[in-house]
Amino acid sequence: MIKDRAQQGFLLASLIISTTLIVAIAVAVTTLVINNYSLAKVDVYRLGAQLAADAAADRAIAELNHDTDWSGTAGEVDLHNVGEYKSTYEITILPGSGPSQKIANVTGRTYSPSTSSTPRSTRKYSIDLRSLGSASSTFSIVTGVGGLILNNSAKIVDGDVYVNGTIVMTNTAQIGLSSNPVSVKVANQSCPLTGGSTYPIVCVAEEPISISNPAHIYGDVCATHQSDGSGMSDVGLDTSCADPPPLPLPPHDRDAQKANITTTTSDSYYTNCDSNTAQRTWPGGLKIEGDVNIGKKCEITIEGDVWITGNLDMINSAKIIVSDSISLGGANTVDPNHPTIMIDGPSGVAIRNSSQIIANASDTGAQIITYWSDALCSPDCSDVTGQDLFDSSTITTIYLEQSAQAPSSILYAKWSQIDLNNGGDIGALVGQKVKLRNSAAVTFGTSVGGGGGSSPITWLVDNYRRDY
């Protein structure tokens, strides 16, 4: 009997100890689960605030690239508001240390419950932004995805260069001078190299600048995915710079220019001039149907915008002169900086044999813009992409040779190629592809970009600081 009682006491003690251990383990596991759940919720709040701050940074840059005077959000903006959880962001834009700097202060917050006025987590950043392009920009050449080609003795001796595609330089071609280096920016947006439906995108594996000795660049070179700095000096290749973004080509309001047409004609007075002594005037708001041929020393004075539905051929010292009495930005000129000659024909414009586009006494030149492309919608395309853009960039619609000149004027091939085959004074060149060859030197004197007188401002992240 005593032995049975001892055994019963032992079993009872074992049961009590086992139960206690099980309860202790259960309490520990429950506590661990509760703690992990709490930590997970904290991480969710933190992640939500972080994502909201990231979204705020992205929106700040997007808004500034759309409107450089944007000042931020009017308080908090809901990013996610479902059930008991809410995330918000807030943006304030402040001036930086100079006109090309801004500071974006962004704040991301999470709330739970969503009706709470006190955030569960907050993330704050101060982002230093710098602008690329401004009203005082001095880009003398801006190319699209087709890039820039210089061969023989072609030289760009004044003005900076922005290339969305690639640069190829051979023979004794040169950009800048050792005594006057320039800025060269290359975005490398030229892939796939054979075109296709996804063209154009930024190349990843290919270097965008090819220089064959003794061709040379004198200047500060910033190029996406470029590692080979040979053939560059004064500063040369900067491998630490931020990748230049693809820069939109300058806008031109084609529809507005069409809407401003007041005179439509195919009369030979406007389409043909082949006299050494002829002096004719084209009024602003003029539409000329068909091809236009200007020869010998014929002088055409333009008083505003002109639309040529065919091609324009200038030869043998022919001249187009901007009137001294022109009124910019009024009823007869869409662009506030230049009168525009808009050309739709597949051959575009040829300026040959010492022919000239001449600025007026106020140094106001003309903007010559061609719209032909390989797309079916040509010349009225609002956009050209993919294989159509790839093929269009090899079509020459602006051609200059034999000392043709256009000082203070902008030559702009919207979807196609500019081919400059001789030296002379040029205001600026804009095209999907720009080819310079057989030129002793080309001197540029006009900046290009948005509206023909400035570069579109693109804001880039220069630095950021986290404020916990």
Closest among 404, 443, 407 to 420, alpha carbons compared: 404
Same domain, 160 and 101: no
Mind listing the pLDDT tens digit for each residue in 398-407?
999 888 989 8
Q: Which of 116, 96, 93, 115 is nearest to 105 (CA)?
A: 93
Its pTM stands at: 0.69
pLDDT score of 136 more than 50 = no
94, 197: one domain: no
DSSP string, 36-84: HHHHHHHHHHHHHHHHHHHHHHHHHHHHHHH-TT--B-SS-EEEEEETT
Average pLDDT for residues 332-354, to the nearest whole number? 93
Instruction: Please give the pLDDT value at position 402.
Output: 84
Any idea what DSSP says for residue 329?
Answer: T
Whether the pLDDT of residue 379 is over 90: the answer is yes
Q: Is residue 127 part of a domain?
A: yes
> Do 314 and 437 share a domain, yes or no?
yes
SS (H, E, C) 265-285: ECCHHHHEEECCCCEEEECCC
Confidence grade of residue 57 (pLDDT, cut at 50, 70, 90): confident
Q: Record the tokens describing residue 7, joined without a space.
A: 């055994």
In a domain, 89, yes or no: yes
The lowest-confidence range among 6-15, 71-80, 144-153, 311-320 is 6-15
- pLDDT of 133 over the 60 cut: no
Tell which wins on pLDDT, 467 or 155. 155
Helix H or strand E segment including 20: helix 2-66
Closest CA to 126 of 102, 101, 107, 105: 105
CB atoms within 10 A of CB 444: 23
Q: Confidence band (pLDDT; 50, 70, 90) for 154?
A: confident
Q: What is the pLDDT of residues 103-130, one digit of tens each?
A: 999 999 999 888 898 998 999 988 888 7
* Measured distance between the N- and C-terminal CA atoms of the chain, rounded to whole angstroms: 73
Range in 5-9, 101-105, 407-411 with the lowest mean pLDDT: 5-9
- Looking at the structure, do residues 308 and 420 belong to the same domain, yes or no? yes
Using CB atoms within 10 Å of the CB of residue 206, give its burial: 0 to 12 exposed, 13 to 18 middle, 19+ buried: middle
Are 280 and 228 part of one and the same domain? Answer: no
Question: What tens digit of pLDDT does each residue of 412-465 get?
Answer: 999 999 999 876 678 888 999 999 988 745 666 666 653 333 444 667 676 667
More confident of the two residues 138 and 374: 374
Helix (H, G, I), strand (E, B) or coil at 18: helix
On whether the CB atoms of residues 165 and 147 are closer than 8 A, the answer is: yes
Q: Tell me what pLDDT residue 152 has.
A: 87
One domain, residues 302 and 447? yes
Domain count, the chain: 3
| pLDDT score of 455 | 43
Residue 457 falls within a domain, yes or no? no
Tell me which residue has tokens 């009682």. 5
Phi-psi region of 33 (alpha: psi -120 to 50; beta: other; left: phi over 0): alpha
State the amino acid at position 209 in one-letter form: I
Beta strands in 153-256 (DSSP E): 155-156, 160-163, 167-169, 174-175, 182-186, 189-191, 201-202, 209-211, 216-223, 232-237
Q: How far apart are CA 412 and CA 398, in angstroms?
A: 8
In a domain, 421, yes or no: yes
- Is residue 405 within 8 A of residue 357, CB to CB? The reply is yes
In a shared domain, residues 212 and 77: no
Residues 215, 331 within the same domain: no
Task: Give the H/E segment covering residue 24.
Answer: helix 2-66
Residue at which a domain ends, from 247, 275, 297: 247
Q: Phi-psi region for residue 152, left (φ > 0), alpha (ψ -120 to 50) or beta?
A: left
Which residue from 289, 260, 267, 364 is spatially nearest to 320, judged by alpha carbons? 364
Across the range 285-307, mean pLDDT stands at 96
Residues with Cβ within 8 Å of 320's Cβ and at least 6 positions away in sequence, in order, are: 294, 300, 302, 314, 341, 356, 357, 358, 366
Q: Which helix (H) or strand (E) holds 25?
A: helix 2-66
Please, are residues 415 and 432 in contact by the beta-carbon 8 Å criterion? yes
* Cα dihedral value 189, 192, 198, 201, nearest 10: -20
158 and 299 both lie in a single domain = no
Do residue 87 and residue 49 come from a single domain? yes
Residues 216/231, Cβ–Cβ less than 8 Å: yes
Q: Of 388, 350, 457, 369, whose CA–CA distance to 145 is shortest?
A: 388
Q: Evaluate if residue 165 carries a pLDDT over 90.
A: yes
Is pLDDT above 60 for 321?
Answer: yes
Last residue of some domain: 202, 230, 247? 247
Per-residue 3-state assignment (H helix, E strand, C coil) for 99-145: CCEEEEEEEEEEECCCCCCCCCEEEEEEEEEEEECCCCCCEEEEEEE
Of residues 361 and 80, which shows the higher confidence score? Answer: 361
Average pLDDT, the chain: 86
Whether 192 and 301 map to the same domain: the answer is: no
Task: Say whether both 280 and 380 belong to one domain.
Answer: yes
pLDDT at 135 (0 to 100):
40
pLDDT, residue 265, reads: 97
143 falls within a domain: yes
pLDDT in tens, 200-242: 999 998 999 999 999 999 999 999 999 999 999 999 999 988 8
More confident residue, 206 or 33: 206
Q: What is the token pair recorded at 181?
A: 């280096």
Which pLDDT does position 11 carry in this prediction? 63
Residue at 27 is within a domain:
yes
Distances (CA, A) of 176 to 180, 228, 235, 368: 6, 19, 11, 25
Give residue 208's domain range. Answer: 139-247
Residue 70 lies inside a defined structural domain of this protein = yes
